[in-house]
Structures are given as structure tokens and as C-alpha cells.
Amino acid sequence: MILRAHPDKPVPQDIFSHPRFTDAMDALEALPTKFYLTGSWAFGTQGRKSDLDLYTADLDSVAVWLQENGYDELDHNPEYSGDPLLKRLFQSGWIHIQLVNPISVKHKIQGSFENLPEEIQSWAFGKHNILKPHRRYIWQIASHLMGLDIGDKTPAVTSNSNPHVCKICGSPGIDMAVTFYCTNPQCRNYKP
């Protein structure tokens, strides 16, 4: 199911008939998972060559489904560097799906951005104004205002019982006071 973070704004219907997304949209719509628009399609600034950006909760069941249906998990994408909400990123063709946690914070920020006056949305998220890599700073500022760590690495993810053990995979890690880095290269909390 494809939705908008701001409940009063409808999903643009042309994404369902767009030649780049048609096949994928049918499969995503059939899932019980709620996917929310973000990026240019959420702000009405999409162009002919725009990709489709969606986000949903970081659930292992969603990640497994995405992998089984041709989505590749991306290890590093500079556009998302420093996003404290992004836990995993998947791509298939022109579609990017962000798995985020906590989704409630992403949802609140996204909904607030969608509710901005049109001229501010156009300035911040328009095609010709702010360079795309700089838009991540807008997200980092919003995350910071929500009380989240905006460092360049993954936010602290540690075991409650032992701050030097990753609570995702149980491997030893490096505790850098604010941020924890897992030493297991197979773990999604690993950072070289």
C-alpha cells in the first residue's frame, strides 16, 4: 500500500501508470506493508527522469521480501550519509526503498515537510534550487530538531547489558561514546 505521510494529500496517481514503476507498484500495493512517498514524488517536483523514493519500517520480513523480489541492498549511498533514521536501503531499477527506525519520527518529519508552504517546498526540494546532495542537510537538521544524533555514522546501537556488544548481531564493537560501530562486516551496523 502506497501512502502519503500527510494524510490530507493524495498519492499522485500517475506513479501507478508510470512506465518505470508499473510492475513494481502492483507488487508493492499487494503487500500488507505501508510504504510512504518521499523525495520528489512526495513534494511534486518530479521530472521525467525522477526515481521513486519510498520508506517503511525497518522490519526483517520486509527486507527479506525485497531481496526475494529483485531489490538489492545498497551498502553505501552518499545521498543518505548521516541520516540517523535510515537503517537499510534497497533499490530495484528506478525505485529506492528506505527501511527506517523509528518510522514515527521519519513520518513526522516527512509530514511536516509535505505541509510546508509550496514556495518553501519548491525552494528546498525543487529540481533547480538546492543541489540534491545538500538536501540531506535539511533532513539532518530536522532529525536534530527531533532530538536525534546527526553524526556521519549509524546512531548508537548497543546491547543494554553490554555497551561493547552489538545488539543486532552480538559481535564485539567499538563504542565511540555517541556512536557504536560493530566489527562484524556482515552486520548492518558495521562501519569500516
Return the CATH number of the domain spanning residue range 2-145: 3.30.460
pLDDT at residue number 146: 73
- The cell numbers describing 6, all together, are 500527510
Give pLDDT, residue 167: 55
Which three cell numbers, joined as nine digits, stand for 91? 533499490
Distance of CA 17 to the CA centre of its chain: 23
pLDDT of residue 166: 59
**Alpha helix (H) ranges present in 80-156?**
103-114, 118-125, 132-145
Given a contact cutoff of 8 angstroms between Cβ atoms, the answer to whether 167 and 160 are in contact is yes
Q: What is the pLDDT of residue 178?
A: 42
pLDDT number for residue 62: 93
Looking at residue 132, its pLDDT comes to 61
For position 23, what pLDDT does the model report? 75
b/e per residue 100-138 (b: at least 16 CB within 10 A): bbebebbbebbbebbeeeeeebbebbbeeeeeeeeebee
Model pLDDT, residue 67: 93
The Cα-based distances of 48 to 9, 44, 52 in angstroms read 22, 12, 11
pLDDT at position 152, please?
39
The three three-digit cell numbers of residue 66, written as one number: 525485497
Q: Which residue positions in the chain have pLDDT lower than 50?
A: 150-163, 175-178
pLDDT at residue 149, rounded to an integer: 52
CA atoms 102, 80, 40, 128: torsion sign:
positive
Name the segment(s) of the chain with CATH classification 3.30.460.
2-145
Q: Cell 527522469 identifies what position?
A: 49
